[in-house]
Structure 1
Amino acid sequence: MITLYHVPQSRSMRVLWLLNELGEPFQLVEMPYDGSLGTEEFLTRSPAGRVPALEIEGERMFESGAIVEYLCERFPERGMGRAPGAMDRMAWLVWVHFAETVSQHVGALTLQHVVLGEEGSDATKSAELARLRHCYEAIEARLSTPVENRDYLLTGGYSAADICVGQAVYMARHFLRTDGFPELSAWFERITERQSYLDALPGETSSRMYEQEFYE
């Protein structure tokens, strides 16, 4: 049995989105956005007190990128990963982990806007927005590469790379709109039409990290 410990609108959303695509049975334990991740019980699952945390057949994992790689290798028949030697293997690894580059800037902006609020630094916000814009530019350039059927980040089609980067962009859009990035915008609309994404969104009664759709 697979159990995912998840906080809505956090990095664990990418694992939930992937699990929805894999179609394997799993249990979801939704954690509130509060201090409960620091309890002694939860620290046995994730020693830094962060989500995601995953339990699978008696083993425990943390770190979203590692979990994504493991699940794609564990269930290769769904085509979400790319095996060593596959045409897209190098690009798959790059873009799965590029999600963390996007997320670190989103994390800094979340700290400034959500945690610190009016005490946040305008200089830091400006610098992180510029770095986030560079990330958008990188995604736009990738999707603009003149390759047949470049509807997704990989030439071979939709994969966990789209899930990981797509989830990071979902969070980033709270601070930087995708206007002016036509290929990125079209790609994001394409991947977020999938039921697996819709089922990974916060429910009506879920706690939320972001109380606003957009932070100026």
Structure 2
Amino acid sequence: MNLKKSLRLFNLLMMKRSELLRDHISEFKSISDAMDKALKKKKTIQVAGGTTGAVGGVTAVVGLALAPVTFGASLIATAVGAGMVASAGGVSAHVAKTNKKIITRDGIERQINDYIDKVKDIEHCLNFILSAMNEMRRYDMARLQRAGAQPDSLKIAHLTHSVFNNMDNVRRNSVTQAGGMSSERLLQGFAKELDYYFKERDEPKLKKSRKSRFSGRVRLLAENLHDELNNLNHMWELFN
């Protein structure tokens, strides 16, 4: 009966939170995508700005060298050169401004905590269900029938055998032995790494030299969480 109640609770939690968890994962992915896009754009502009600045500088030097001969034309060349340098600097400044979509430590921690709050009850519930089912597998169906077990109990026992027959062996062992709280552990591990990527608490911006690594780490987290959510949905299907 306790197992039956747990199955109902798991079903209710998945109905309420499955899509919310998927939205959180999408948010993690969008953070990584935005960072990759900003880093790529910045790199492109730096290359373009450097080229433009070099061309502008050459134009200015040539203009000054020709000044005694063709005063008017050389001033135009000098002005064009200076303009190109200024425009390159302006573009770089503009990119720096657009990249100020700052990802803060507080925002990331909020995402982590929100996800844990939504997923931990589901994973703990699944852990209890699988542990109870693992215990029930010791009882033979025919023996339960002879002992006069209630129809509901027989139904749960039949479901237990069906679920374990359809579960992947590796996943089954890892869930029943490791506690079945994979997403929670993934997020807690990620939270411990934030000191490596962010500056001090009173300056919660990302360290410039580690932005690219952080983007990759967030993407990996999103992929792992996606796999765990798929597993929860797979178990939900098996239970139903």
TM range (shorter): under 0.3
Q: Which has the higher strand share?
A: 1
Higher RCO (Cα < 8 Å, 6 or more apart): 2
**TM-score, structure 1 normalization:** 0.27
**TM-score, structure 2 normalization:** 0.25
Whichever of the two has the greater Rg, that structure is: 2
